[in-house]
Structure 1
Amino acid sequence: MTTRNVNLKAALIAGGVAGIISGLVKLGWENVLPPRTPERDQTNPPQQLLQQVGIPASITHATYTYSGQQLPFVSYLVHFGFSTSFAMLYSVGEHYVPAIRAGQGTAFGLFVWGAFHHGIMPAMHTIPRAKDQPLEEHISEGLGHAIWMWTNDIVSNQVYQQLTKNQNKTGK
Structure 2
Amino acid sequence: MINLFELSNKKDRHLWTMIYVGIIAGIFSALVKSGFETLIPPRTPETMPPPMVLLEKLGFNVSTMDYHWLGTTINWGGNGVHILFSIAIAIIYCVVCEYLVKAKMLHGVIFGVGVSVFAHGLVVPLLGLSGWLWLAGPEALISEFIGTAFWIWSIEAIRSDLRYRLVRHN
TM-score by length of structure 2 reads 0.89
CA deviations 1:66-93 (Å, max 9, x no partner) are 1221111111111110111111111111
How many angstroms apart in 2 are the aligned matches of 1:123 and 1:165?
Answer: 43
Q: Aligned AA for 1:121?
A: V
Match of residue 51, structure 1, among 38, 56, 76: 56
Q: Aligned AA for 2:21?
A: A
Gaps in structure 1 of 5+ consecutive residues: none
Partner of 1:129: 132
Partner of 1:33: 40
Q: Aligned AA for 2:34?
A: L
Is residue 17 of structure 2 the alignment partner of residue 10 of structure 1? yes
Question: Following TM superposition, by how much is the alpha carbon of 1:111 offset from its aligned partner in structure 2, in angstroms?
Answer: 0.4
Please identify, of 8-17 and 110-119, the stretch whose mean Cα deviation from structure 2 is larger.
8-17
State the secondary structure of the residue aligned to 1:64: strand
Q: Which runs of 4+ in 1 moved over 4 A?
A: none
How many angstroms apart in 1 are the aligned matches of 2:110 and 2:28?
Answer: 19
The answer to whether the Cα contact below 8 Å between 1:100 and 1:108 also exists between their aligned partners in 2 is yes
The answer to whether the Cα contact below 8 Å between 2:14 and 2:98 also exists between their aligned partners in 1 is no
CA deviations 1:55-114 (Å, max 9, x no partner) are 23445xx11121221111111111110111111111111011222212110001100110
Taking only the aligned residue pairs, the percentage that are identical comes to 30
RMSD: 1.5
Q: 1:134 to 1:23 in 2, by over 3 A?
A: same
Question: Following TM superposition, by how much is the alpha carbon of 1:131 offset from its aligned partner in structure 2, in angstroms?
Answer: 3.5
Gaps in structure 2 of 5+ consecutive residues: 1-7
Question: Following TM superposition, by how much is the alpha carbon of 1:3 offset from its aligned partner in structure 2, in angstroms?
Answer: 3.5
How many angstroms apart in 2 are the aligned matches of 1:58 and 1:69?
Answer: 14
TM-score by length of structure 1 reads 0.88
Question: Following TM superposition, by how much is the alpha carbon of 1:140 offset from its aligned partner in structure 2, in angstroms?
Answer: 0.2
Question: Following TM superposition, by how much is the alpha carbon of 1:53 offset from its aligned partner in structure 2, in angstroms?
Answer: 2.5
